[in-house]
């Protein structure tokens, strides 16, 4: 039975994530990340594929997610090290100081309290 899920592309996810993190301007720049675009393209393919092919495609997409997670961790460490070495007024701090990410739904879409329609 085909799924009724339609992958809307990464702009909607970026906007929701930017709202959740109270960083609306960050969505635009994040949309230019090559690994995120690749992940979004694979998600679009997986959303239209049969379950066997879709699972394989999602495994590959997960590799891009892992790259983004490693990049975030490295960015946090770089910022924390420099901020610790220098007093930087107005520094926002590492991502672990941002609000926690919302729970992931069964469909794998993060639900925003403001935008639960994704």
Write the pLDDT tens digit of every residue in 57-111: 999 999 999 999 999 999 988 888 888 788 766 666 656 555 454 444 444 444 4
Query: In angstroms, what CA-CA distances link 117 with 8, 32, 60, 111?
Result: 11, 24, 26, 8
Instruction: Quote the pTM value.
Output: 0.68
* CA–CA separation, 8 and 69 (whole Å): 22
Write the pLDDT tens digit of every residue in 29-72: 999 999 999 999 999 999 999 999 999 999 999 999 999 999 99
Would the pLDDT of 4 be above 90?
no
In the chain, what are the domain boundaries? 10-97
């Amino acid at each position: 039975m085909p799924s009724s899920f339609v992958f809307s592309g990464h702009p909607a996810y970026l906007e929701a994530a930017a709202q959740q993190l109270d960083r609306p301007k960050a969505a635009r720049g994040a949309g230019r990340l090559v690994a995120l675009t690749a992940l979004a393209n694979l998600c679009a393919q997986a959303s239209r594929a049969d379950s066997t092919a879709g699972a394989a495609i999602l495994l590959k997409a997960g590799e891009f997610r892992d790259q983004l997670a490693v990049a975030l961790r490295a960015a946090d460490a770089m910022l924390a090290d420099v901020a610790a070495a220098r007093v930087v007024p107005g520094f926002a701090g590492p991502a672990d100081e941002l609000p926690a990410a919302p729970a992931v739904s069964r469909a794998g879409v993060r639900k925003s309290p403001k935008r639960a329609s994704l």
